[in-house]
Structure 1
Amino acid sequence: MDFVCAHAGRPASAITRRDLARALLSVPSGVALVALPDLRRAMMSAGKPLTPAFWDSAKATLGSIEAGVATVGDVQRWLESTGTEPILMTPSYFVWPEEDERGPVATEMFARLVAYLEERVVSGETDPDALATGDPEARAAYEELQERWLSTPLPDGRVPGNAVSDEQDEELFAAWDEEEEFALSELQRIMGELPKQPDLPAEELQAAGARLRALLILPGYPANVLRACAGFDDRPVPDGDAELWLSVAAGVAGPVSDLSDGEDVLEEFADLDGELSEEDTTLANLCAIQHADWLAGVAALVRLGPGVLASPERMARLIAESEDIDVDEQEIDDLDATEGLFASVVDLWTHLGIVDRDEVLTPLGWWGLPKALERAWSPAE
């Protein structure tokens, strides 16, 4: 009991089912099972005997863990059935960060919700025994209770669910900016070490600019994807060929926007049995490529120069063999995944003249790819 109180930071008289469950889960399941009878007597002595439903559920869950048949979901569900453990993922898909990954706001809101749920148990609004026995109506009510709390403003005006999500977004953007900054510095270092800097192929750039202007006014793929990548749906197309070409090439490495936000797009993504369009698949692939992979692939092409094969398969191999990034030994599945992502890239590169129809790097691609990456990774002015 002393261990449980220390783990929970409360005296025995204030220990809850959740406190007990978390303490039991913090030690080997065999140890926890042996401790159950003594804990039950200690809780009775403290004036908080709890109910047979809790002790039966604890014994069953710990027994399943000890037998090696319990899933992570089973254990989480049992913890939530204590009546004061926030649901890890709500029906509206709000997800709490892992305990060791919570920022100050998430930590505060989680503690506030625990306290709120404890009040609901004391008032009788939540019945932990019904949760422990798997009553579906009790579970639905428990989920609704938390959904309502997450979307209800606090006295200070903050909406708990939004506050947590905003904090996670800020952390994600900060990490993304840090990755971009490092990738940009590495790209500049690699370019600075080249024995010969790529020359601007003026005629190729002019021809590519003319083809691109004619392409961008067309409906459907690839024009709609290239417009979205460059953000031309929200701003005019540049007049200069270099500015136009670099804007689109940079957008392939870092898409500025997505396709239309119409209801038909939302319905398409909500249809789990349907297939994504070519446009959505392409944009998803572009967004899935990591900074390190872009850096490794483009650095290899720039070092090798015009005439090198830049097919999706070759790009995957160049990335796997790169010394510019830390790459673990690649499995076949990893290579196939990278190849699949770069299939979308190489197809768009063909329309930009970065590679020719045989997927071979052109002088324009040699000159423009590093400049496009530098633009994509530079802070917006």
Structure 2
Amino acid sequence: MDIKFVCAHAGRPATAVTRRDVARALLAVPSGVALVALPDLRRAMVAAGNPLSVAFWESAKATLSAIEAGVATVGDVQRWVESTGTEPILMTPSYFVWPEEDERGPVATEMFARLVAYLEDKVAAGEIDPDALAAGDQEARSAYEELQESWLSTPLPDGRVPGFAVSDELDEELFSAWDEEEEFALSELRRIVAELPKQPELPMAELETAATRLRALLALPGYPASVLRACAGFDERPLPDDDVELWLTVAAGIAGPIADLSEGADVLEEFADLDRELSEEDTALANLCAIQHADWLAGVAALVRMGPGVLASPERMARLIAESEDIDIDDQDDEDLHTTESLFTSVVGLWGLLGIVDADDVLTPLGWWGLPKALERAWSGEG
């Protein structure tokens, strides 16, 4: 750990190395090694005509000593690097969050480098005082945050707004990963159903009874009708006349909700109250959205293989998912099982309204026929 290492790590000559460059190089080696090398590194920087400042070297020693003693938190270290004056803030006051370095896409990498260069220009112009930042000056910190907030929201010459450009890239990556998971789950579901020794048949009488009951339910205000309408997207369009279409649309919506609850003024005021308890409908919709493709696949695959008459209670669903050989899953402890059971409590309750399970949470012939079709519809975009 010497000045050559710092220059190689930063990709700059010693005369151009910044506080941030030195801080990152010091953190790239064990803290004990960095502490031992610190005095010689400081002398080498002075000899190179780039002494940095007393405040920086003292902050470096204090931070490295805290790391070596095991008392420094990740936040402490991040704050120290940010105090160099050219390190972008990991999370701004408006909650913009930079991805971790090894998780940045091309756009985030470009924008991060642009912001570092922008901050370096501001330090050179005397508009950022790194020593004040290192000393914990709150006014300097606030100005530093505001400067970055402004840059993130100001269009570049090519018209791109940095903050939005990074967020859009993250969204694209998230949606791409989601689509891949959905495509794999759909292919596995189709394979499992095709391999059944006997294919489920539509129990028409049961479906007509369930559809009649469902139409009456969907006309009611409040929970559970509000959640079923949101899941199926019926707040924005009329109910289909065909019973099969109606039933499958609602069943598919439980596995892949189409919309959120209607957001009137009262709803927005409730969500602004962080101390309030979630309503039954908020909890149900949140639970549905939290279930992963793999869990849906494992649970429904187990049910369709066993057929009508199998218990499909929330506790049983959690156990079937934990023991499934259709998905890769780590060993489940009691807490994991409880979490899955809690999520499926909402699912099984809604399944009962559609006749997928009976009053004792036992899978019905209608559920045996309809569950795989509902999942296929939710994951393929049919309807």
- 1:345 and 2:347 aligned: yes
Q: Which amino acid in the other structure matches residue 317 of structure 2?
A: M
Q: Distance in 2 between matches of 1:143 and 1:263?
A: 32
Deviations 1:318-358 (A, max 9, x none): 00000111111101100000000001101111111111111
Correspondence for 1:296 among 283, 293, 298: 298
CA shift, 1:262, in A, is 3.2
Letter in structure 1 aligned against 2:197: P
- Segment drifting more, 120-129 vs 257-266: 257-266
Pick the aligned partner of 1:306 from 266, 286, 308: 308
* Residue 210, structure 1, aligned to residue 184, structure 2: no
Q: How do residues 201-280 of structure 1 correspond to structure 2 at under 5 angstroms?
A: 201-280=203-282
Q: How far off its partner does 1:380 sit?
A: 5.5
Q: 1:20 aligns with which of 9, 19, 22?
A: 22
Query: Any stretches of 5+ residues in structure 1 without a counterpart?
Result: none
For residue 340 of structure 1, give the secondary structure of its aligned residue in structure 2.
helix
Partner Cα distance (2:63, 2:76) in 1:
8
Q: 1:13 corresponds to which letter in structure 2?
A: T
Residue-pair matches, total: 381
Secondary structure of the residue aligned to 1:76 is helix
Structure 1 residues 28 and 174, CA gap change in structure 2 (3 angstroms):
same
SS at match of 1:326: coil
Q: How many Å separate the matches in 1 of 2:282 and 2:55?
A: 50
Aligned position for 1:67: 69
* Cα shift at 1:123: 1.0
- Provide the TM-score with structure 2 as the length reference: 0.98
Structure 1 stretches of 4+ moved >2 Å: 261-272
Question: Which residue number in structure 1 is paired with residue 377 of structure 2?
Answer: 375
* Structure 2 residue 307 is the aligned partner of structure 1 residue 332: no
Match of 1:77 in 2: 79
Name the SS for the 2:99 alignment partner. Answer: coil
Structure 2 counterpart of 1:92, from 83, 91, 94: 94
| Residue of structure 2 in register with 1:129 after alignment | 131
Kindly indicate whether the alpha-carbon contact (under 8 Å) linking 1:268 and 1:276 is maintained by their aligned counterparts in 2.
no
The AA in structure 2 aligned to 1:281 is T
Q: Distance in 2 between matches of 1:292 and 1:269?
A: 30
Structure 1 pair 37–331 and aligned structure 2 pair: CA distance change class (3 A):
same
Q: Deviations over 1:20-70 (max 9, x none)?
A: 000000000000001111111111112111111111110010001000111
Is the contact made by 1:33 and 1:59 (CA closer than 8 Å) also made in structure 2?
yes
Q: Which among 108, 112, 115 is matched to residue 113 of structure 1?
A: 115
Residue 279 of structure 1 and its aligned partner are, at CA, apart by: 1.2
- Give the equivalent residue in structure 2 for 1:173: 175
Identity among equivalent pairs (%):
82
User: Deviation at 1:244?
Assistant: 0.4
